[in-house]
Amino acid sequence: MEGGIHGGADESAFRECFSLAWKNPYVLRLAFSAGIGGLLFGYDTGVISGALLYIREDFKTVDRETWLQEMIVSMAVAGAIVGAAIGGWANDKFGRRSAILMADFLFLIGAIIMAAAPNPSLIVIGRVFVGLGVGMASMTAPLYISEASPAKIRGALVSTNGFLITGGQFLSYLINLGFTDVKGTWRWMLGIAGVPAFLQFILMFTLPESPRWLYRKVCMNVFNINSGAWM
């Protein structure tokens, strides 16, 4: 029964998840494709800690003015707050998949701006764009996965988003280490974040819209038609 207590459901969910993934890898591909939004979130929060060291070396004003350092770090968070708010509206208006595509576009634009930034001001602007994308993706990705997943393994698949958040943080530290002695250091660290955003943008075109969102839109259209007929 709905809402009843199901003994052993938690421990069996992951077994069913891997079993279903083996029989139908499309479901797992859907979860990981949408979960790249979590990877972007984790990468963005982790990469700036290493990149900022080299930004300070290239721009002496950033090294002297601590408020500029704080702006570079915090503007992504500020953008994420706005992005999450906009994401709620975009999810309802355009659909979950479209919201993820918009988030990828914003993140890609932000990564390009930061990688090519000739001054600290453009780095801040790039961080705002990245934050907007992160905010939209962080609230849309788990929503899309939960609505497009089979009920029995929904919890296990949604957890891939959290797994990819921490995976993105770990990846950012590896990228920071890998580009430490490369010319352009922080530009590579910040710009390479556009690669998973572009990858997700392509992958999302191969995935369907959330069935729950489609059902809701159909019901709303039917209701509007019926309401108009009675007027």
pLDDT tens digits along 140-173 = 998 898 888 777 777 778 888 888 999 999 999 9
Residue 125 inside a domain? The answer is yes
What is the structure's pLDDT at 55?
Answer: 93
Question: Is residue 37 included in any domain, yes or no?
Answer: yes
Would you say residue 152 lies in a domain?
Answer: yes
Beta carbons of 69 and 62 less than 8 angstroms apart: yes
The verdict on residue 224 lying in a domain is yes
Number of structural domains found in the chain = 1
Q: Which residues, 6+ apart, have CB-to-CB distance to 111 below 8 Å?
A: 126, 130, 190, 191, 192, 193, 194, 197
Q: Which residue has the tokens 């459901």?
A: 9
Identify the pLDDT of residue 201.
93
Q: Taking residues 202-226, report their average pLDDT.
A: 77
5 pLDDT higher than 50? no
**What is the chain's mean pLDDT, rounded?**
84
Residue closest to 69 by CA, chosen among 131, 5, 124:
124
What is the pTM assigned to this prediction? 0.83
Average pLDDT on 166-184 reads 91
Residues contacting residue 145 through CB under 8 Å, at least 6 positions apart: 30, 31, 34, 35, 154, 157, 158, 160, 161
Handedness of CA 48, 53, 54, 58 (dihedral sign): positive
Rounded CA-CA distance 52/186 in Å is: 7
Residue 28 has pLDDT above 90, yes or no: no
Whether 5 is in a domain gets the answer: no
Q: How far apart are CA 77 and CA 44, in angstroms?
A: 10
- 126 assigned to some structural domain: yes
DSSP state of 171: H
Question: Is the pLDDT confidence value at 6 over 60?
Answer: no
CATH number at residue 224: 1.20.1250.20
CA distance 34 to 201: 10
What pLDDT does 173 receive?
Answer: 92
pLDDT reported for residue 212: 83
Domain around 101: 13-230
Compute the CA torsion angle 79, 190, 99, 135 (nearest 10 deg): -30
210, part of any domain: yes
7 belongs to a structural domain:
no
Among 97, 91, 96, smallest CA distance to 205 is for 97
